[in-house]
């Protein structure tokens, strides 16, 4: 059978039938909004999902910090190997490779290991950060199994011209600077952003692995990080937009000493990542068109003189996509798309240079019924990987506006994750070997939830809740192979089952001269692993059963105050051992003023204000109470009009 063209034929058939019924009505051309150059059409079709967008005030307060710290403040589960070390997000009981990180529509998951190191992404480089709870393989493809982090740089044409700088200094000899400049008008614009951070990271901690629990300092955790992002937008008339974006990050990070080690670590990891994307969006007489092209390059060099290790790994990705969107009968919207991507990797640990070709086809149909009180979406996706078809995935979503304040929603989606190139191509050594016969992981998830919103005078209240169930089959796990001299080898052996409940409350109150914004989130996750080993039926490692996040921000005139709190329950690290629960609190105070045509903001903050001893990953120390100060300056901002 040839590639399943039914995915596209299905969409075209619907389009043709509906177009005939509409008697080929040609509506007035709609002005292309700038947001469409960043979000894929199908991304706008994620109806019925639980998506939390981080507010701009919190983004501002976390300038000079990484996505790791920002996302941790929202109550999601973060796994971090020490201060500034490798950090990944785990949503709804998934692993580190089961949450996609998408930048301007491009999935950034590494083809080498399937993960994304959040500590390498400065918050100040992005204008929008959202977290979608629950996977959707039809929208984002491989790796979007349990959740999606969405990073965007939209709205450039609407932003004022000007220069912005910021400086931060804190405990652990942390020194950081960020700067941005934007010029342009309503037709074209250009921006450039920079973020740099240098730190010794020699924070104090209590070493529970040594007799007497002595107070020590973290060693060999120094870091030097640089990030640059440029963004250019050009509008052609009222019907077309072209955006070119590019970013480069350089991260030189020592790997900190383990708490149980008596020898100071000498390990170091050097990462360089580069990405450039082009997004062209246009409205044509009968449909809208989007062309997306991207090139991603990453290299990782790990050295450990004490162990005699020097490992260099590089990868390149080329992504090409075309999407068509057609509005039919004024209440239906159809999206069809084709994609082609290439993954190339070079590693001293591979049997050969790795190459993977992928061709994908997808379609999505949205219907607005009962005067848009009901939104319904159905999506399909299929993919051809090196000439072999993976299972067809589908998703559906429903939103029903029951009352002016109450929205009911439901969604169901299947998802998949391809084996990483490490899984497939790892060369045969005394201790490990890859497995070229692996099959893709395959799973599904369902959501049932509601959103209740009250907007009255000076009060804005939103309460949402979601019940979820997810399953993942053929989970790829590296384990010793008894039939191969106990060498570590990846196999499709595990099945995971997760279910739980998520709730979120946000409250905004404006009573001049005071503004108050607060939120509270709670997640209950019951996640277990099933396989033939000793861990059968046990809880998923590093997944807390209870997770709570809370924050409050108060603005009084030129002063602002903020407090973030998170609670994480006990987590299993293997079938016998656990890490204890912990509470984290961060406090921040700031003052803003205007002078000489510029805006100034000065702030001070305390991280881990309750001086909690905790670990995110076993044996990796995290800081006790520590401090920072920040200064931001906006120079001569001008309107784009």
**Cα 537–chain centre separation:** 29
pLDDT interval class at 41 (50, 70, 90): low
H or E, element range at 410:
strand 406-417
What is the percent of the chain with per-residue pLDDT over 90, rounded to a whole number? Answer: 69
Q: Which residue has the tokens 């921000």?
A: 553
Check residue 421 and report its DSSP letter. Answer: H
pLDDT, mean of residues 450-475? 94
Q: What is the pLDDT of residue 597?
A: 81
Query: What string of DSSP letters covers 213-224?
Result: --EEE--S--EE
The model's pLDDT over 272-329, given as tens digits with 9 standing for 90+, comes to: 999 999 999 998 888 899 999 999 999 999 999 999 999 999 999 999 999 999 988 7
pLDDT interval class at 19 (50, 70, 90): very low
pLDDT interval class at 224 (50, 70, 90): very high
Rounded-to-integer distance, Cα 190 and Cα 213, Å: 54
Q: Which residue has the tokens 């044996």?
A: 619
Q: What is the pLDDT of residue 376?
A: 94
**Cα angle for residues 450, 452, 456 (degrees, 5° grid):** 170
Bigger pLDDT: 614 vs 25: 614
pLDDT interval class at 22 (50, 70, 90): very low
Q: What is the pLDDT of residue 351?
A: 82
Q: Is the pLDDT of residue 536 over 60?
A: yes
Q: Is the pLDDT of residue 535 over 90?
A: no
Reduced to 3 states, what is the DSSP secondary structure of residue 41? coil
pLDDT interval class at 13 (50, 70, 90): very low
Q: What is the pLDDT of residue 16?
A: 38
pLDDT interval class at 40 (50, 70, 90): low
Check residue 65 and report its DSSP letter. Answer: S
Report CA-CA distances (Å) from 585 to 22, 62, 72, 373, 569.
Answer: 58, 15, 11, 41, 15
**Cα 141–chain centre separation:** 14
Q: Which residues pair with 434 in a beta bridge?
A: none
Q: Is the pLDDT of residue 25 over 60?
A: no
Q: What is the pLDDT of residue 24?
A: 31
Q: What is the pLDDT of residue 14?
A: 36
Q: What is the pLDDT of residue 42?
A: 67
Helix, strand and coil in the chain, % to nearest 5: 10, 60, 35
Q: What are phi and psi of 534, to 5 degrees?
A: -70, -15
Check residue 424 and report its DSSP letter. Answer: H
The model's pLDDT over 183-219, given as tens digits with 9 standing for 90+, comes to: 999 899 999 999 999 999 999 999 999 999 999 999 9
Q: Is the pLDDT of residue 638 over 60?
A: no
Sheet containing strand 50-53, edge to edge, reads 50-53, 128-133, 147-152, 99-103, 106-107
The model's pLDDT over 127-161, given as tens digits with 9 standing for 90+, comes to: 899 999 998 888 889 999 999 999 988 788 888 89
Q: Which residues pair with 49 in a beta bridge?
A: none
Residue 365 burial (CB < 10 Å; 0-12/13-18/19+)?
A: buried
Do 240 and 30 contact (CB within 8 A), yes or no? no
Rounded-to-integer distance, Cα 323 and Cα 239, Å: 16
Instruction: With 0.75 as the threshold, say if the pTM is over it.
Output: yes
Q: Is the pLDDT of residue 540 over 60?
A: yes
Instruction: List alpha helices for 62-118, DSSP H.
Output: 67-73
* Structure tokens, 230: 């440029």
pLDDT, mean of residues 473-496? 86
* Structure tokens, 34: 């700038």
| Nearest residue to 375 via CA among 384, 365, 385, 388 | 365
Q: How are beta strands 223-236 and 240-254 bridged, if at all?
A: antiparallel
Q: Is the pLDDT of residue 34 over 70?
A: no
Q: What are phi and psi of 518, to 5 degrees?
A: -145, 155
What number of H helices and E strands is found in the chain?
5, 35
Measured on CA atoms in the order 72, 585, 563, 204, is the torsion positive or negative? negative
Q: Which residues pair with 595 in a beta bridge?
A: 598
Q: How are beta strands 393-401 and 538-539 bridged, if at all?
A: unpaired
* Structure tokens, 601: 């903001």
Residue 263 burial (CB < 10 Å; 0-12/13-18/19+)?
A: exposed
* Structure tokens, 551: 């924050």
pLDDT interval class at 5 (50, 70, 90): very low
Q: What is the pLDDT of residue 12?
A: 38
Q: Is the pLDDT of residue 30 over 70?
A: no
pLDDT interval class at 26 (50, 70, 90): very low
Q: Which residues pair with 554 in a beta bridge?
A: 516, 561
Q: Which residues pair with 395 in a beta bridge?
A: 379, 413
Which residues does 349 contact at the CB level (< 8 Å), separation at least 6? Answer: 311, 313, 422, 426, 427, 429
Rounded-to-integer distance, Cα 305 and Cα 313, Å: 17
* SS3 readout for 430-453: CCECCCCCCCCEEEEEEEEEEEEE
pLDDT, mean of residues 465-486? 88
The model's pLDDT over 409-442, given as tens digits with 9 standing for 90+, comes to: 999 999 999 999 999 999 887 788 999 999 999 9
Q: Which residue has the tokens 């100040």?
A: 124
Q: What is the pLDDT of residue 500?
A: 96
**Cα angle for residues 242, 109, 98 (degrees, 5° grid):** 125
Do 302 and 348 contact (CB within 8 A), yes or no? no
H or E, element range at 58:
helix 56-61
* Structure tokens, 357: 């070709």
Average pLDDT of the chain to the nearest whole number: 88
Residue 150 burial (CB < 10 Å; 0-12/13-18/19+)?
A: buried
């Amino acid at each position: 059978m040839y590639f399943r063209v039914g995915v596209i034929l299905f969409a075209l058939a619907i389009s043709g039938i509906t177009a005939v019924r509409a008697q080929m009505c040609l509506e007035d051309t709609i002005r292309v909004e700038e947001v469409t150059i960043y979000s894929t059409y199908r991304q706008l079709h994620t109806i019925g999902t639980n998506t939390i967008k981080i507010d701009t005030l919190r983004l501002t307060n976390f300038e000079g910090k990484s996505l790791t710290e920002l996302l941790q403040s929202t109550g999601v589960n973060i796994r971090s190997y020490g201060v500034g070390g490798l950090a990944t997000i785990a949503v709804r009981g998934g692993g580190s490779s089961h949450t996609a990180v998408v930048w301007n529509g491009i999935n950034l998951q590494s083809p080498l290991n399937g993960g994304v190191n959040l500590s390498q992404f400065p918050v100040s480089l992005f204008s929008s950060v959202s977290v979608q709870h629950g996977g959707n393989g039809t929208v984002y493809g491989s790796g979007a199994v349990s959740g999606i982090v969405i990073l965007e740089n939209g709205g450039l044409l609407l932003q004022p011209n000007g220069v912005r700088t910021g400086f931060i200094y804190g405990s652990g000899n942390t020194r950081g600077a960020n700067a941005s400049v934007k010029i342009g008008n309503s037709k074209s614009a250009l921006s450039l952003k920079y973020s740099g951070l240098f730190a010794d990271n020699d924070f104090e901690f209590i070493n529970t692995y040594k007799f007497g629990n002595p107070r020590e300092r973290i060693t060999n955790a120094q870091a030097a990080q640089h990030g640059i992002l440029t963004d250019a937008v050009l509008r052609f008339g009222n019907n077309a937009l072209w955006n070119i974006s590019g970013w480069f990050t350089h991260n030189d990070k020592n790997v900190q000493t383990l708490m149980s080690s008596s020898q100071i670590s000498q390990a170091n990891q050097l990462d360089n990542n580069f990405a450039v994307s082009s997004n062209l969006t246009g409205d044509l007489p009968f449909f809208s068109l989007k062309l997306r092209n991207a090139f991603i390059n990453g290299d990782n060099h790990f050295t450990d003189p004490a162990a005699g290790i020097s490992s260099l790994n590089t990868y390149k990705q080329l992504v090409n996509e075309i999407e068509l969107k057609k509005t039919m009968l004024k209440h239906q919207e159809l999206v069809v798309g084709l994609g082609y991507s290439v993954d190339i990797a070079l590693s001293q640990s591979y049997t050969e240079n790795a190459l993977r070709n992928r061709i994908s086809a997808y379609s999505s149909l949205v219907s607005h019924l009962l005067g848009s009180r009901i939104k319904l979406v159905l999506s399909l996706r299929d993919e051809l990987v090196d000439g072999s078809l993976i299972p067809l995935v589908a998703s559906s979503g429903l939103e029903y506006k029951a009352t002016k304040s109450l929205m009911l929603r439901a969604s169901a989606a299947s998802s998949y994750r391809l084996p990483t190139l490490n899984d497939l191509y790892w060369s045969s050594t005394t201790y490990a070997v890859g497995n070229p016969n692996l099959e893709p992981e395959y799973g599904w998830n369902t959501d049932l939830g509601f959103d209740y919103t009250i907007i009255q005078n000076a009060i804005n209240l939103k309460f949402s809740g979601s019940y979820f169930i997810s399953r993942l089959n053929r989970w790829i796990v590296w384990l010793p192979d008894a039939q191969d001299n106990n060498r570590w080898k990846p196999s499709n052996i595990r099945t995971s089952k997760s279910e739980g409940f998520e709730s979120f409350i946000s409250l905004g109150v404006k009573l001049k001269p005071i503004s108050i914004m607060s939120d509270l989130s709670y997640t209950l996750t019951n996640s277990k692993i099933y396989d033939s080993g000793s861990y059968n039926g046990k809880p998923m490692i590093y997944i807390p059963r209870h997770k709570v996040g809370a924050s409050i921000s108060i603005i009084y005139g030129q002063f602002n105050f903020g407090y973030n709190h998170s609670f994480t329950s006990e987590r299993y690290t293997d079938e016998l051992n656990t890490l204890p629960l912990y509470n984290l609190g961060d406090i921040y105070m700031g003052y803003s003023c205007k002078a000489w045509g510029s805006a100034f903001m000065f702030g001070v903050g305390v991280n881990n204000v309750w001086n909690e001893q905790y670990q995110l990953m076993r044996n990796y120390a995290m800081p006790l109470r520590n401090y920072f100060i920040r200064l931001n300056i906006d120079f001569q901002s001008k309107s784009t009009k």
